Structure 1
Amino acid sequence: MKKLAIITSHPIQYYAPWFRYLAALSDLSIRVFYLWDFGITQKADHGFQQAIQWDIPLLTGYDHEFVPNISSSPGTHHFWGLYNPTLNSRVRAYAPDVVLLMNYNYVSLYQFLASWHDTPILFRGDSHRLVPERGLKAWLRQQWIRQVFRRFDGVLYVGQANYDYFRAHGVPSDRLFFSPHAIDNERFSSEHATAHEQAQQWKQELGIPSHHRVILFAGKLIPKKRPNDLLEAFLEAKLPNTSLLLVGSGALEPELRSRAASHDHVFFAPFQNQSLMPRTYAIADVFVLPSYGGGETWGLAVNEAMCLAKPIIVSNHVGCASDLVEQGQNGWIFPAGDTGALKRCLQEALSDRNLLIQQGEQSLHKIQHYSYSQVTTGLRQALSQLGILSKPEDEHKLYIQQSYS
């Protein structure tokens, strides 16, 4: 059995179920090396501006260890936040056949890349260049990234925009393998019926009229997510029998509450932990992610909403837009920052309840192709090309045979 070492920043609710999936494979043994313990203990989240701890199991079902982090300010919000001097020796003691990095732009990971020569290294990332950067500083950064990517023997990409990003930074197409972003579809789907029952009660608790359709935003109330654009578009759209629900917390919350104070059909709900997310999406008739800039590298909330059969409205700066949202089929894509265009999307979406239902069904069908099975197929193809695993079995050749080249 071949051994895979996975190095990542901290336990993440989207990755832990994938690690359990990998651990169940008969020809691959994994160990996950965590560089920080955020998510499993109460710690401040800079985006949500509160201490959080995920309420679903993140460490069960797979082998893992925490590498001591001696940073004076641990976290992923700055370069020195992951400082783990014993990382190399810990990984070497495991004696892996291959290493997969899920991050690189931290001091510990640069040190690892500079000194690790024992086995091939893979990388899985999700950055994009949907918002072009210009100027000398941007050019120098691109040249540096090109050099970093030359260090990897294979790269897993999550979607179209991410593929284009890697190609723009010099990664050859034959070293790129499609390993799409996915969530625990099985958990969300299994809670579908219960979530809708809970959502009706929650709707009543929030004070949203029972006959109102609900436009949902769920996430950090921070500038890059642009919840203020959604609020402005909603107020201008003047939609009958419709409420806007903003779920989450963050730096923009006071401003949003102030702007919405004189409007009857704008509602707020606090941060919802993972066990409540199916209910959170179930309350919606349409989900909106209006992010602006290069920071929304994918938008896994879209995957979650689609698992609850919801139509989607996203800006064209959202990394998953071209992969998950088909205009007129399961949602709408609008130019980022254009509140007039977002208003028109809302008006079209809320003009026909049957249309919303049909588009939600299309979302549910489409998201089945973004599962941990498909994520794993891309990884296995990379390992096969490196000669670490035999060619993927037939059951691993599902959706990923497509190519963006």
Structure 2
Amino acid sequence: MKSLFIAGDINRIGGIEKYNRDFYSALRKTGATIVLVERRKGGILAKLSFVFRVFWKYIKERPDIIFCGHLNFSPICLALKLLFWTPYTIALYGIEIIESHGWLKRRAVLGAERVITISEYARGLILRQYPDLNERIFMLPSAVDGSVFFIKKKNQNLIDKYGIAGRPIILSLARLSTPEHKGQDRVLASLPYVLEKIPNAVYLIVGGGTDERLNAILRKHPELANSVIIAGPASNEERAEYYNLGDVYVLPSKYEGFSIVFIESLACGVPVIASDAFGCREGLLEGELGLLVPPDDLQAIANAIISILTESAHHLLFDREHLRKRTLDIYGIDAWNQRVGQLVKDLLPERRKRKLAIFMSHPIQYQAPLLGKLAKNQHFTTHTYFYWDFGVKETYEADFKRKIKWDITVLDGYQYTFLRNYSFRPSSSFWGVVNFGVVSEIFRHRYDAILVFGWAHFSNWLAMLSARLNGTRIILHGESPMNQEMRKNRGLKSLVRNMVLKNLFKHVSAFLYIGEENKKFYEHFQVPQNKLFFAPYAVDNERYFNEQKSLSVDKIVLRRSAGVAENGPVILFVGKLTEKKRPMDLLKAYEILLDSWMGGVKPVLVYVGDGPLRVDLENYVANHGLAGVSFTGFKNQLELSSYYAIADVFVLPSGLGETWGLVVNEAMCFGVPVIVSDMVGCGADIVRHGENGFVFPLGDSLKLAQYLSVMLNDEKARKNFGRRSREIIESYSQERGVKGIQEALYV
């Protein structure tokens, strides 16, 4: 994995600089390729130079991920993500989280793949501002290198330099800054109490910067001058010498996410006194590794110092080897490297959250719930592109001979974009969707994969070509069933088609098959098994289960409202009245059924839908005196459930072109037995012959009539069939489809 690491000057003195220095070192030990860009000190030109170098290194190296070492650099990472869809992490430490962030930094934090932080206290601060980040926070406490910070004798040169031989030394090593709350001023203010008990004690303050509060205290208490030494900054090489010089390390800081100076001191075997709140308490293991005091209680600070210097505190605090070992076990560099290694593993391209672009002809009522479920998946993100806005606004539908608009929401719960359609005659035909925008979207966003539904649109081919050129994986969702493929004409057109598909399939990374016949189709084209993933054609089962429950109260009322006779079993057909659906086969079977009907009240046949064959069907009904047949015309999505609820048997007699038949799924959700022709794609999967329905030979109205007679004359068998329909359809869910897509995305 190639990474870009953006940080301040990691060789400078400071806790954040030390954290980033250790992080950079640990990243290199993972074996990953790390490109470091540091923000050097300077004014506006230095800032511009830094931004330029970040973008230059990014374009040159094209990293898989960006590590951001400070909140201030996060807008750069956000910009790179928006431009190139490269994920990034950001480290947040404590003090910078307390204040509210501007909208740009807020958006940058929310856009991070992982937020690295150093303590539970800091985590709490983050979640206070960003509650949605809970699952993206990675805990990485600061580390101490035991080979640098270890127990040694007091440096005689330093003792001589400051003239402190034989004196108990109270040490604070941290940056001096008036706006910050490190606490050196409170230690100094508590010193008179300490001197009452230990007159020769000396307070050694080490650190760069200035704190006017210290000078103010010294002016107020000039008697402290001989007991206080402000030594100035210490280099990274000198820090261990100063820690070993101290007899106790004291820093009652406030708002500290985690102070690395504590564990550095402990690694040198020097006992620590820290604040009993914020990240300090957690860093000292709730007091196991040091004394905790209220940061504003001067007497408590003094008492803690006295107890250490007089060795009246717990004996383990004076066991230097124990303090060192316990500290290194938890905060040692080996433990740190393991944690960073785990982070890198989590962010590897094969394990991190992936980005999937979905290309569809138009919003489809059946697919909208699936898109919503995909958007909620925790393992990948999706963005859906539509070629056409059919169904969103009123659009003329030739088969229905009317304008339609879906009465259910088809755009909620997922991110989408309507691409400009350059076709002169927008439709679902090959040239009906011509969207050149797919090219820029694929190249600009660097998706991990694209999901394309079939190869019947020009824009699908354009998307697959663009993905191929951009190195983006292609996931193909097709429908073609093998049983229909075998019946197609074997002429020149078929030969050319097969050659084109064979060549296309060589460039596809994964195939989603909707059922067994569709799987056989891919196997016929020699697609290897490891590229095949099951993603069943499914409806929103939960929605239909709930509607079935709510509509099962009074079927008489439903039949009246639907205009269906109150008595007699109901045979239901739902779909377009077109040649592909073969509604005439069902009508003839119904006529045969009535001729041999021996039961009581005759069954009724309900056609829900419209289309060019409606006139022929109505004429046939009139000419043959079939009074029990009714035609409802087009019914929108929310109206269909009432018809499924009154059905006793559902029939789909379709021929070539019916690659699945989702109306069968819908009927089964209502616990209805089903009968389909042997050309209907779903027949091999969800219609179990003799269990929940029957499969009849295409066009054989006599056989269909026989199956209808068996079903309608045996109420007990019909109920058992219906119960089995409900059981079978539960495993053909959109949730299973999401799983198949996820498997294909991570193959």
Please, what TM-score do these two structures have when normalized by structure 1? 0.91
Equivalent residue for 1:14, pick from 348, 361, 366: 366
Q: Does 1:265 align with 2:628?
A: yes
Q: Is 272-281 or 328-337 further displaced after alignment? A: 272-281
Most deviating of 207-216 and 344-353 = 207-216
Distance in structure 1 (CA, Å) of the matches to 2:400 and 2:503? 34
SS in 2 for 1:296: coil
Match of 2:545 among 189, 195, 201: 189
Superposed displacement of residue 286, structure 1? 0.3
8 A contact 2:454–2:479 mirrored in 1:
no
Distance 1:257 1:181 in 2: 32
Structure 2 counterpart of 1:345, from 689, 697, 707: 707
1:175 corresponds in structure 2 to 531
Alignment partner, residue 108 of structure 1: 459
User: 1:124 aligns to what?
Assistant: 477
Q: Equivalents in 1 of 2:462, 2:562: separation in Å? A: 50
- Alignment coverage as a number of residue pairs: 383
The corresponding residue for 2:672 is: 310
2:733 aligns with one of 368, 371, 394:
371
**Which structure 2 residues correspond to residues 4-403 of structure 1 after superposition, within 5 A?**
4-76=356-428, 78-116=429-467, 117-118=469-470, 119-131=472-484, 132=486, 133=488, 134-197=490-553, 199-238=555-594, 239=597, 240=599, 241-261=602-622, 262-293=625-656, 295-385=657-747
Q: Contact 1:199–1:280 (CA<8 Å) still a contact in 2?
A: no
Aligned equivalents of 1:96 and 1:335: distance in 2? Answer: 45
How has the CA–CA distance of structure 1 residues 80 and 351 changed in structure 2, closer, same or farther, with 3 Å as cutoff? same
Aligned partners of 2:715, 2:723: CA distance in 1, in Å?
13
Q: Provide the C-alpha distance between the structure 1 equivalents of 2:389 and 2:689, rounded to a whole number of angstroms.
A: 40
Give 1:136 deviation, angstroms. Answer: 3.0
Counterpart CA distance in 1 for 2:529 and 2:513 is 11
Deviation string 1:220-264 (CA, Å, 9 cap, x unpaired) is: 000010110000010111134211111100000000011112221
Q: Are the aligned partners of 1:67 and 1:90 in contact in 2 as well (CA < 8 Å)? A: no
Change (3 A) 1:49 1:130: farther
Q: 1:165 to 1:270 in 2, by over 3 A?
A: same
Cα displacement (A) at 1:111: 2.2
Q: Give distance in 2, aligned partners of 1:33 and 1:219.
A: 27
Q: Is the 8 A contact 2:562 2:643 kept in 1?
A: no
Residues 608 and 631 of structure 2 are in contact (CA less than 8 Å); yes or no, is this contact kept in structure 1?
Answer: yes
Aligned counterparts of 1:152 and 1:93: Cα–Cα separation in 2: 21
Q: Which amino acid aligns with 2:682?
A: C
Letter in 1 for 2:736: Q
Q: Which amino acid aligns with 2:620?
A: R
Alpha-carbon RMSD: 1.4
Question: Shift in Å at residue 105 of structure 1?
Answer: 2.2
CA shift, 1:197, in A, is 4.5
- Counterpart code for 2:661: G
Three-state SS of the structure 2 residue aligned to 1:225 is coil
Question: Which structure has the larger Rg over C-alpha atoms?
Answer: 2
Question: C-alpha distance in 2, partners of 1:309/1:85?
Answer: 45
For the 8 Å contact 2:545–2:670, the answer to whether it is kept is yes
For residues 63 and 7 of structure 1, what CA distance do their matches in structure 2 show?
12
Q: Per chain length, whose mean CA-contact separation is higher, i.e. which structure has more relative contact order (CA < 8 Å, sep 6+)?
A: 1
The Cα offsets for residues 294-343 of structure 1, whole Å up to 9 and x where unpaired, read as x0000000000000000000000000001001111100000001111111
Note closer, same or farther for the CA distance 1:70–1:61 as it changes in structure 2 (3 Å cut).
same
How far is 1:27 from its partner? 2.1
Structure 1 residue aligned with 2:81: none
Given that 1:191 and 1:278 are in contact with CA atoms closer than 8 Å, whether structure 2 keeps it comes out as yes
- TM-score (ref. length: structure 2): 0.50
Equivalent residues of 1:43, 1:53 under 8 A apart: yes
| 1:71 to partner: Cα distance | 0.4
Aligned in 2, Cα 1:113/1:206: closer, same or farther, shift over 3 Å?
closer
Report the AA paired with residue 89 of structure 1. S
Structure with a larger share of its residues in helix: 2
Tell me whether 47-56 or 153-162 shows the greater mean CA deviation: 47-56
Aligned partner letter, 2:651: V
Find the aligned partners of 1:45 and 1:345 in 2 and give their Cα distance.
34
Aligned equivalents of 2:491, 2:706: Cα separation in 1: 35
Unaligned stretches of 5+ in structure 2?
Answer: 1-352
User: Which deviates more, 50-59 or 130-139?
Assistant: 130-139
Matched residue SS, 1:100? strand
Query: Helix, strand or coil for the counterpart of 2:543?
Result: helix
Deviation readout 1:158-196 (Å, 9 max, x if unpaired): 000100111112322221111111100011111113333
Measured at CA, do residues 329 and 5 of structure 1 come closer, stay the same or move farther in structure 2, by a change above 3 Å?
same
Task: Supply the distance in 2 between the matched residues of 1:92 and 1:140 (Cα, whole angstroms).
Answer: 30
Which region of structure 1 is more displaced relative to structure 2, 166-175 or 80-89?
A: 166-175
1:191 is paired with a residue whose SS is helix
Q: CA deviation at 1:104?
A: 2.2
